[in-house]
Amino acid sequence: MRRTTVLRNGLSAILLLGAWAAAGIAPASAADAPSTASASRTTSGFTPASTAKAPASAGLLSAMQKDLGLTASQAKARLAAERTATAVQGKARRAAGPSYGGSWFDPATGRLTVAVTSDEKAGAVRATGAAVRLVAHSARQLDAAKAQLDALSAPAGVAGWHVDPKASRVVVNVVASSEDDNDVRAFVERARKAGPVLVRRTSEAPKTFSAGTVGGDPYYTGNVRCSIGFSVYGGFVTAGHCGQAGAGVSGWDGSYIGNFQGSSFPGDDYAWVSVGNGWWTVPVVLGWGTVSDQLVRGSAEAPIGASICRSGSTSHWHCGNVLATNETVNYSQGAVYQMTKTSVCAEPGDSGGSFISGDQAQGVTSGGWGNCSSGGETWHQPINEILNRYGLTLHTA
């Protein structure tokens, strides 16, 4: 890929400073624990606001203020609280044992709340720093009920389903215009027999966010435009519906990048692409000049309720909250499992792009409904599953 000396020098300086900031920290791998464009063109190179280990770049904080209605100090405080919650959730789950019913971050209190089915474990969970809520069903029971739904064939009017730890139910999302459809009614009836189910309405059916060839700063495979997720050593990860294994990929300037080395869709929605021919990988999520570019330092999974931002080649930067995890999404092409739902908007061409919480990679954009003018919801494929599936190592600063 053609690049100027200025861009190459700027990139080298940032990677060096990033190495100083994270001295002694090994690259994040799947065991330790993607839409932007990889090595995309900019006028001034990759420009994070700071390579020091700050809560987030000034641009990301600005996006959180705009999309979440926060002040600058509130955005910083929320990120700090979310980092604490992320660190606590594993310890709290172990403390809860078999009575664990799920967990979520509560923005109002700034704490992680852990659901338990027995008061006997409440003290041990509180000792980790988490709040406690008594619920009727354990996470194991809810996951088992959801697994039975995953084995069913869902009609188009059923948007998807996920475990909601707050409600202690499996939530089935039904498209409002299809709720009286006989096939939808039959699916809901079968779902209720599987376990505790709550039916909620959604305004639209989910769709993927790939697009035909248009202008912008994308990557292309055939006549499809998608967005690069996160750099890994040897390439980048993206959405599986963007291309099949073996398909060639070209960059924003039309030059050859590499090929899809692995791809899965439906069932999953992830893929990885090899990088060569003068292209290189960097641990950066682009801000598109709207916000500062953000360095990636790991892939710790943010809890339900945490803030999360997305970068894509069509709609650029937008932020929202994590709404659900382990959701089954029923696209027209087939169901995709173990997805994370967010309140962040997206548009065609954003598929494959980066979901990031603070400086932690979360996943690659899969699909959703709505747009960034009227709002909507999106789903992403969690990054650690992709790294584990293909034995990849996330490129971190």
Please report which confidence band the pLDDT of residue 214 belongs to, taking 50, 70 and 90 as the band edges.
Answer: very low
pLDDT of residue 165: 97
Determine which of 11-20, 231-240, 278-287 has the lowest per-residue pLDDT on average: 11-20
Question: What number is the average pLDDT over the span 114-133?
Answer: 97
User: Is 395 a catalytic site residue?
Assistant: no
Residue 5 confidence class, pLDDT cut points 50, 70, 90:
very low
Write down the catalytic residue from 99, 103, 307, 351. Answer: 351
Q: For all residues of the chain together, what is the average pLDDT?
A: 84
Class of CATH domain 75-134: alpha beta
**Strand-pair category, 230-232 with 169-175:** unpaired
**Which of 67, 217, 269, 359 does the annotation list as catalytic?**
269
- 99: pLDDT confidence band, cut at 50, 70 and 90? very high
Helix (H) or strand (E) holding 5: helix 5-21
Q: What is the three-class DSSP state of 117?
A: coil
Active site residue 99: no
What does the alpha-carbon distance between residue 35 and residue 47 come to, in Å, rounded to a whole number?
Answer: 17
102-111, 151-160, 203-212, 274-283 — which is least confidently predicted? 203-212
Structure tokens at 96: 């809860």
pLDDT of residue 53: 53
| pLDDT at 24 (0 to 100) | 30
Give catalytic status of residue 269 as yes or no: yes
- Give SS3 for 355: strand
Residue 271 to residue 263: CA distance in whole angstroms: 4
Strand blocks (E) in 135-242: 158-164, 169-175, 197-202, 207-208, 211-212, 219-221, 224-226, 230-232, 235-238
Burial of 296 (0-12, 13-18, 19+ CB in 10 A): buried
Selected catalytic residue, list 137, 162, 241, 316 = 241
Measured CA to CA, the distance from residue 262 to residue 255 in angstroms comes to 21
pLDDT higher at 21 or 201: 201
Q: Which residue has the tokens 């709609």?
A: 315
- Tell me: the pLDDT tens digits for 291-326? 778 889 999 999 999 999 999 999 999 999 999 999
What is the predicted pLDDT for the residue at 55?
60
Given a contact cutoff of 8 angstroms between Cβ atoms, the answer to whether 184 and 199 are in contact is no
Q: Write out pLDDT tens, residues 46-59.
A: 333 333 455 667 77
Q: What average pLDDT does the segment 245-274 reach?
A: 94
| Residue 131 in this model has a pLDDT that exceeds 90 | yes
289 has pLDDT over 80: no
Asked, as a colleague might, if the bond just before 266 is cis with ω within 30 of 0, I would say yes
pLDDT confidence of residue 239? 96
What's the pLDDT score for residue 86?
A: 95
Q: For the whole prediction, is pTM greater than 0.85?
A: no
Residue 326 corresponds to which amino acid? N
Q: List the domain boundaries for the chain.
A: 1-74+137-397, 75-134
Structure tokens at 119: 């008061």
**What is the architecture of the domain spanning 1-74+137-397?**
Beta Barrel (2.40)
Strands 284-285 and 100-106 come out as unpaired
Closest CA to 34 of 219, 210, 229: 229
Which residues lie below 8 Å from residue 13, measured CB to CB, with a gap of 6+?
A: none
67/236 Cα distance (integer angstroms): 27
Tokens for 266? Answer: 């439906």
- Contacts for 358 with CB less than 8 Å, ≥ 6 apart: 55, 56, 60, 79, 82, 83, 302
